[in-house]
Every structure is written in structure tokens, then in C-alpha cells.
Amino acid sequence: MKKALLASILSLACIVANAAPIKIATIAPDGTAWMKEMRAAAEAVKTKTSDRVEIKFYPGGVMGDNATVLRKIKIGQLQGAAFTGGEAASITPDANVYSQPFQFRSEDEIDKVRAKVDAQLKTSFEKAGYVVPGMAGGGFAYLFSVNDIHDKDTLKAAKVWVPQGDRVAEIAFKAAGVTPIPLPIADVYTSLQTGLIDAAASTTAGAIAFQWHTKVKHMLDLPLMYVMGYLAIDKKAYDALSAEDRKVLDDEVGAAFARIEKGARTDNAQARTALQGQGVAITAQNADQRKTWDTIGADARKNLTGAGGISPELAAAVNKALDEARK
């Protein structure tokens, strides 16, 4: 009887422990495709684990900036967040390995490289104390501006925003001779309105989602870098789940992020057309201009690898996979 009672108590304790929600912060505005898919995954996880695992999202940046979110994860107030690559670089600089400036030319290249390198990248997160059940490409970022930016000289004259703490973006623009202005992403719209900045990089769909397209007139038709999104969960909270429940979470969140990536590609294509329809001029680049940007990108990438940056091993794995893709 005592053994049976003890077993019941232990079983109940496990259920209670798993019943605590996994609280996830994100800057993604509510109602976006990202939030819809993440909420759908959360509902599926809850159902398939018989309510043992509940994922609760806090969208729109309501939990604070990146530093605040990481601090809340550390003290257990949050258990994870949906990060951009720049934000996730605070966890591991390797989060930016797919977002190096002017590295990729197409999404086909991205797909082939990620098929070989994603597992190694997830290991980098785990070494830093996080598990990444979901990662998705948001598309290529382009430079949007109030004034026409068509070459290196006109870029130097611009007041360019970079995400606060985004080392990749800062190094990329400094390689072009620009001193960028770091701000939280939530301040970009107002800063474009007041003139504190007059240029900002984003995916085409992102420019519309954040309403930046209403404050700019031009888009430089040149992919600056590839945008990645990660759902990272504190490893202690993840490991507290049973093996069965962890698999459900991995499967459902992974599937949701695959749908997010597929949807992002469609949304970006449609957004590009919509931007043109709303009067945003898209400035093309000729072959010589592209060579200039390629040189800037190569110089910037040298400063992103090594001490305090992307691990040489992971950077080499990406370069090797990219070379194979191009062959």
C-alpha cells in the first residue's frame, strides 16, 4: 500500500511539474503567419501530450527587448523565445552563420547548405544551454530607404538602422563605410517618421508587416543577408519533459516552422509586388555594382569568424556546403 501510494504521489508530482506552461516571448506581432503557425503547434502539442505540455506565447515584444528576454529566461520567468538570428547571436554567435552579408545568391543555395549544416548549428545552441526545435528562413533582407540608395556613395550618406546588438549588420555596414544607428526593432517605425534614421533592412514581407513601407520610397534590389528565425527553449525546461513529450514538441514545432518558411517565401514574393503597387521604387544593380557589394561582403565575413564570432568550424562547414551547391 505504501509503495502504491508513493508511486501515485510521484506520478502526480510529474504531472504537476509538466503542467507548468513553457512561456515563449517573441517580437512577432500577433495575427501574423508566424504567430498563427506557432500557436497551432502549441495547440497540437497540448492535445497530443494530454495537456501535460502547454506552450504560452507573448507576442509583439511585450516581454521587453532581447537583453530583457534573455534575463527573464535565466531567472525562469520565461522558458524560451522566438529569436531572429541577430538576437539569437547573444546565445551563440553561430546563430548568424546563415546571415553573413552577401554570401548566398538564392534560396536554392540556402536549402542545400542547411540540409548539411542545420544539425551542427543546433549543437552550438545546445552547448550554450538551449534546444532549438524550430528554425525557419524568413527570406532575404533588402535595404529600404527614404532617399534613393543605389551605390556605395549614396549608402554612406544614409542614416542606416541596425538591430540593437546585431553584430553581423553592424560589421556589414561598417565594411561599406557606414556608421549605422543601433535601435530596438520596435523603435524603427517611429525613427523613420522622425528622421532619426532614413534607411532600414528587412524582408519585403517584414517591411509591410511592420508598416515601414509607409515611411520609405525606395528598395535596393540586392539581397543583403538571409534572415533566420529560431525557437529556442532553455535546455533545463526542455529536459524536464518526458522523452515522449519532447518528441511531440520537436515534431509539431519543427513542422510548424517548415510551414512558416514555405509561407514566408510566398509572402515575400507577394509583398514585393505589393510594394511596387504602393509606389516603392525598386532599384536594380548591374554586374559591376554587384561586384562592389560582393567585395564588401567578403571583407565583412572575415571579421565575423573567430574569437567572439562565428566558430571557424561552422563557417567552414557552410563554405564547403556552399561550394558543393554551386558545383
* pLDDT digit string, tens, across residues 199-235: 999 999 999 988 999 999 999 999 999 999 999 999 9
Give residue 163's pLDDT: 86
Residue 150 neighbours by CB under 8 Å, 6+ apart: 220, 283, 285, 289
In whole angstroms, give the CA distance from residue 283 to residue 154: 13
Q: Helices in 166-242 by DSSP H: which ranges? A: 167-175, 188-194, 204-209, 235-239
Give residue 6's pLDDT: 53
Give residue 3's pLDDT: 55
Give residue 16's pLDDT: 44
Which residue carries 495547440 as its cell?
43
Question: What is the CB-side half-sphere exposure of residue 164 using CA atoms within 13 A?
Answer: 11
- Bridge partners of 136? 229
In whole angstroms, give the CA distance from residue 252 to residue 242: 15
What is the sign, positive or negative, of the torsion defined by CA atoms of 266, 131, 226, 170?
positive
Task: Give the residue ranges of the chain where pLDDT is below 70.
Answer: 1-19, 307
Give residue 306's pLDDT: 75
Give residue 232's pLDDT: 98
Question: Quick check: helix, strand or coil at residue 275?
Answer: helix
pTM of the predicted protein model: 0.84
Which residue carries 520537436 as its cell?
250
**Buried b or exposed e, range 12-38, using 16+ CB within 10 angstroms:** eeeeeebeeebbbbbbbeeebbbbbbb
